[in-house]
Amino acid sequence: MSPHAGFLLALYFAGITAVASALLTPLCMRLARRWGVVDTPSDRSLHARPVPLLGGLAISGALSLVVWSHITGAAIVRATPDFLEHFTDDLQGPLLGWSGNGFRLAIVFIGGALIAALGLLDDVRGLSVRQRIYPQLAVAAAVVALGIRPELGFLPSWLSYALAVLWLTGITNSFNLIDGADGLAAGLAAIAALLLGTAMLLAGHAASGSLFFAIGGAALGFLPWNWHPAKVFMGSAGSLFLGYTLGATTMVATFMNEGTVWLFPLLIPILAFAVPLYDTASVILIRAGMRASIFAGDRRHFHHRLMQIGFSHRQCVVFMYLLALAFGTSAVLISKSSLLQDVVLLIHSAVLVGVVILMERVVNRVATLPGARERPTDQKPPAEGPDAADRSERASDAVDTRERA
């Protein structure tokens, strides 16, 4: 299949999934209000009004609808080869690839449905971290046992199995943990999915690349409704589903070209998910250093720390988008570069992590010096005049965000 045709079809899947997600989101918002599934402000919340929580169902529903309707179409194409006679043969590649891997895709989506149901239960009733993590481990173990795992022939089979379960559970939770600012999880998922899809298409794998683009489209369609100030949250049902689906798809995809010898392409998913993984790792280290439970919810996530040192809500989200693009671009380049170039790209990524850590440490230390003023995030100094209270209330309403960790 020509790269040009592969990218065109991948963009088609991203577009149609984005439209489906955007259209389903208002319906899910109405259902959330009718059923009372809303995020009510608490002592840890920064948003001032209840916000619907079922946006994640629009993401999972749109992706499932598009993928399985096209798999059905692919089955028709395979039964009647001249069905798409007036289209180029190249355009049939991803559809036939999805159809040929229907069993593996069914395993991925059944697991995704179970993860989304777990997240929905958390949105409705509220579950502890342990009540969420054990079912996730069970689903991940079952999915990996059924064959959804990377081919790591240089490792013992038991170690490959354990790493696959750990990877799938870790990525699933990293997106759940980072879903603490309006538009953050959806935007990072879209960036990661589109960059991973690009890497797959460059490696000549049109079916997997198109699936990544479809996932990215589902997140992009939801994003306008979730942009600050958010009209709807994706909730655990959405963040867990996105993390799981992205993690599972990376395990069934291969980023290797035919002539690939070195194992650097295995780092492509790690770089694509660098920002959520950094957030998760840094929070665990901070909590462990303070001798606090690593499962305790708090405001020590990366986006919270950025806001504490002066970033506004939108500046924080855009800054994390840019970081994700920087790491993800390196991931795409690794898929087509030589050994020396791969080493340079990895050094670049390591330096970028060091710059972020140094920035946090220095700015945080300056902010705690005597005389340093602490300004509430996204809030302007109090205005004077008879309508100052109204303007102050509107300013506080503009900082809607929440912590779902």
**Once rounded to an integer, what is the mean pLDDT over residues 351-366?**
87
- Report the Cα 227 to chain-centroid distance in Å: 15
Categorize the per-residue pLDDT at 370 as very low, low, confident or very high, splitting at 50, 70 and 90: low
Q: In angstroms, rounded to a whole number, what is the distance separating the alpha carbons of residues 210 and 150?
A: 19
Q: Which residues contact 259 (CB under 8 A, 6 or more apart)?
A: none
Q: Is the pLDDT of residue 388 over 50?
A: no
pLDDT tens digit sequence for 263-300: 677 889 999 999 999 999 999 998 888 888 888 778 88
Confidence at residue 264, expressed as pLDDT on a 0 to 100 scale? 78
Q: Are 303 and 320 in contact (CB under 8 A)?
A: yes
Can you tell me the mean pLDDT for 354-361? 91
Residue 45 is predicted with a pLDDT of 54
Taking the C-alpha atoms of residue 291 and residue 284, their distance in angstroms, rounded to an integer, is 10
C-alpha separations of 82 from 9, 92, 95, 231, 232 in Å: 19, 11, 14, 46, 45
How high is the pLDDT of residue 99?
63
Please say if the pLDDT value at position 392 is more than 70: no
- Residue 109 confidence (pLDDT) above 80: yes
pLDDT tens profile 221-263: 999 999 999 999 999 999 999 999 999 999 988 665 544 546 6
Does residue 336 carry a pLDDT above 60? Answer: yes
Q: Does the pLDDT value for residue 86 go beyond 60?
A: no
Residue with tokens 């890497």: 199
Q: According to the model, what pLDDT value does residue 182 have?
A: 94
- Burial letters 102-121, b for 16+ CB under 10 A, else e: eebbebbbebbebbbebbbb
Q: What is the pTM of this model?
A: 0.86
Structure tokens at 75: 């089955």
User: 300 and 287 in contact (C-beta within 8 Å)?
Assistant: yes
Taking the CA atoms of residue 277, residue 151, residue 110 and residue 403 in that order, the dihedral angle to the nearest 10 degrees is 0
Provide the 3-class DSSP secondary structure of residue 114: helix
Band of residue 92 on the pLDDT scale cut at 50, 70, 90: low
Q: Which residue has the higher pLDDT, 310 or 21?
A: 21
Q: Is residue 397 predicted with pLDDT exceeding 50?
A: no
Q: Which of 200, 291, 202, 230 is nearest to 48 (CA)?
A: 230
According to the model, what pLDDT value does residue 293 have? 83
| Cα 355 to Cα 374: distance, rounded to the nearest angstrom | 24
Tell which residue, 345, 326, 207, has the closest CA to residue 265: 345
Provide CB contacts within 8 A for 87, sequence distance 6+.
none
By mean pLDDT, which of 23-37, 62-76, 330-344, 374-388 is the weakest? 374-388
Residue 366's pLDDT band, with cuts at 50, 70 and 90, is: low
- Return the pLDDT at 321: 98
Angstrom distance (rounded) from CA 310 to CA 364? 10
Helix (H, G, I), strand (E, B) or coil at 45: coil
**Rounded average pLDDT over 34-61:** 83
Q: What is the pLDDT of residue 270?
A: 94
Distance in angstroms (rounded) separating the CA atoms of residues 237 and 32 = 13
Q: What is the mean pLDDT of the chain?
A: 83
Please report, for the chain, the start and end positions of each structural domain, with discontinuous segments joined by +: 3-397
**Contact in structure between 171 and 243 (CB atoms under 8 Å):** yes
| 169-188 pLDDT tens trace | 999 999 999 998 999 999 99
Residue 45 region, left (φ>0) first, then alpha (ψ -120 to 50), else beta? Answer: beta
The pLDDT of 29-47, averaged and rounded, is 79
Going from the C-alpha of 68 to that of each of 50, 74, 211, 256, 337, the distances in angstroms are 34, 9, 11, 27, 35
The residues pairing with 38 across neighbouring beta strands, listed in sequence order, are 52
User: Rounded mean pLDDT of 328-357?
Assistant: 88
Vertex 123: Cα angle to 120 and 129 (nearest 5) = 95
Q: Residue 395: is its pLDDT beyond 70?
A: no
The reported pLDDT for the residue numbered 391 is 36
103 — pLDDT class (breaks 50, 70, 90): confident
The predicted pLDDT at position 167 comes to: 95
